[in-house]
Amino acid sequence: MPAISRDEVARVAALARISLAEDELDRLAGQLDSIVEAVRTVSEAAGGDVPATSHPIALVNVYRPDTAHPSLTLEEALQSAPCREADQFKVPQILQDEP
């Protein structure tokens, strides 16, 4: 007996305000039933000694410690600028002034 019936699919679709054709109800009921069966199979295979995981590979924080380092001087930062104005980079205007 299927775990997900066609009537259950129709009810959930109605609650979600999704219009489904008759053939879609039949197809989705079969697909959802296959998914439920696959989850049941995996649940049976995983014994009580298998911890639940959200990712198959252990994740490690890849951030380095936030430490202060000497930075460029103003002159060093601006020395390669194609165009500068006073102590700033000068770039072309890309936004128009509002009327």
Domains present along the chain, CATH in parentheses: 6-45 (1.10.20)
Cβ burial, residue 9 (10 Å; 0-12/13-18/19+): buried
Query: Which positions of the chain have pLDDT values less than 50?
Result: none
* Per-residue pLDDT at 1: 67
Instruction: Please state the pTM of the whole predicted model.
Output: 0.46
What is the CB neighbour count within 10 angstroms for residue 40? 11
* Per-residue pLDDT at 41: 87
